């Protein structure tokens, strides 16, 4: 990406973030108190788990005599605040998926990890890292989840086009993980980040011909599967396991170019105590800590030193799928965000 395009992207992204942040409220402001530590996190079970496993069970709060403040937002809300407070950060540490981390990095709002502090980074494979500023603590595997009563075991993305499942397939909304999904499909049908025509054509067919339900998040997807209004959708393996425990007859298959999304933690540039933030990042990558996170969330660890117990092996990617994850250039995803949203609205959702 040339410098002029980067600068234009930065200006456009920051202005959008400022507008979004004003709409949702800025929450905790940048602070000077040495004992106050602001953690940007999503809510619900994710907030419960990160608080328990990272902050309390490790002794991070007690050892450092901290008043930990949790600012609970959705992923886009956290990302907006990181950008809107660039240089004078709201957060001491913030949860992020790869694309939001890349966006904050391109906008000049992140510190790189300090390898002398984040020593566990050396264990994390490149597949779970973006640059020197992001590494996933858990990997959310997003394969084709299907109702075994109504759907034959799928094998590729093309199963989403099967007319037998008309009106019973789901796709994620763009504001959730729709852009990621679009690029995974696009890779499967021969496109790349600069040319999304193949992906747009296929997803448009899912919506227009097979009447795909556009799903806004994980909780609505759970409800749709439970009511059997949804039979087939790219969805999380952990959510699938929970649905199965609740009696819903579902399974998952990892098709070629399935989507893998990480959850990691970024350090905004300008934090009051960067060493403390880096220490917490290191804890998120520690194999013993990740094991506890796996037990809590039932999502796959990213540190290969984690010894996953037999009863939790279903959360780990099976051998047949180890080379099937869609390879996505997250920086290019940021570069093309406006184009992708325009194509999504114009060429996929419009009927």
- Judge whether 113 and 133 are in contact, CB under 8 Å: yes
Reported confidence tier of residue 350, pLDDT bands at 50, 70, 90: confident
Kindly report the number of other CB atoms within 10 A of residue 125's CB atom.
Answer: 11
Greatest alpha-carbon span in the chain:
60
Q: In the predicted model, is pLDDT for residue 325 greater than 60?
A: yes
Q: 142-259+335-349 belongs to which homologous superfamily?
A: Periplasmic binding protein-like II (3.40.190.10)
Q: In the predicted model, is pLDDT for residue 214 greater than 60? A: yes
Average pLDDT for 42-47: 89
Compute the mean pLDDT over every residue in the chain, rounded to the nearest whole number: 90
Query: Average of pLDDT values for 67-87?
Result: 94
**So what's the pLDDT on residue 100?**
93
List, for residues 287-316, the tens digit of each pLDDT value. Answer: 999 999 999 988 899 999 999 999 898 889
pLDDT at 26: 44
Is residue 260 within 8 A of residue 326, CB to CB? The reply is: yes
Q: Which helix (H) or strand (E) holds 234?
A: strand 232-236
Right CATH number for 3-138+261-325 from 3.90.850.10, 3.40.50.720, 3.20.20.140, 3.40.190.10?
3.40.190.10
Same fold flag, 3-138+261-325 and 142-259+335-349: yes
Domain spans in the chain, listed from the N-terminal domain onward: 3-138+261-325, 142-259+335-349
Is 162 strand, coil or helix? coil
DSSP-derived letter for residue 318 is P
Query: What sections of 58-97 are H helices per DSSP?
Result: 60-63, 75-84
2-11, 280-289, 304-313: which range is least confident on average? Answer: 2-11
Closest-CA residue to 349 (of 158, 171, 161): 171
Q: How high is the pLDDT of residue 19?
A: 43
């Amino acid at each position: 990406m040339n410098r002029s395009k980067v600068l234009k992207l930065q200006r456009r992204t920051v202005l959008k973030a400022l507008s979004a942040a004003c709409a949702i409220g800025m929450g905790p402001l940048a602070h000077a108190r040495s004992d106050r530590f602001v953690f940007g996190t999503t809510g619900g079970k994710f907030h419960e788990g990160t608080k328990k496993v990272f902050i309390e069970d490790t002794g991070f709060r007690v050892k450092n005599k901290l008043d930990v403040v949790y600012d609970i937002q959705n992923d886009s809300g956290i990302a907006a605040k990181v950008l809107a407070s660039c240089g004078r950060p709201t957060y001491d540490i913030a949860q992020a998926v790869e694309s939001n981390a890349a966006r904050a990095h391109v906008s000049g709002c992140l510190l790189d990890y300090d390898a002398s502090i984040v020593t566990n980074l050396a264990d994390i494979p490149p597949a779970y890292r973006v640059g020197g500023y992001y590494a996933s603590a858990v990997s959310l595997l997003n394969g084709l989840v299907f109702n075994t009563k109504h759907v034959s075991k799928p094998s590729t993305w093309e199963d989403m086009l099967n007319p037998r499942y008309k009106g019973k397939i789901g796709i994620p909304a763009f504001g959730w993980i729709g852009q990621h999904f679009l690029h995974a499909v696009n890779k499967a049908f021969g496109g790349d980040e600069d040319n999304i025509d193949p992906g747009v054509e296929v997803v448009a067919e899912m919506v227009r011909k097979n009447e795909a339900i556009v799903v806004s998040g994980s909780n609505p997807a759970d409800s749709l599967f439970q009511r059997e209004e949804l039979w087939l959708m790219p969805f999380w393996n952990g959510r699938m396991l929970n649905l199965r425990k609740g009696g819903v007859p579902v399974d998952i298959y990892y098709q070629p170019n399935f989507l893998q999304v990480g959850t990691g933690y970024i350090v905004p540039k300008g934090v009051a105590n960067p060493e403390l933030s880096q220490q917490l990042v290191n804890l998120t990558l520690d194999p013993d800590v990740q094991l506890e996170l796996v037990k809590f969330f039932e999502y796959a660890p990213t540190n290969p030193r984690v010894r996953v117990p037999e009863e939790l092996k279903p959360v780990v990617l099976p051998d047949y799928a180890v080379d099937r994850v869609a390879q996505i250039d997250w920086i290019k995803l940021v570069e093309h965000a406006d184009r992708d949203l325009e194509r999504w609205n114009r060429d996929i959702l419009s009927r």
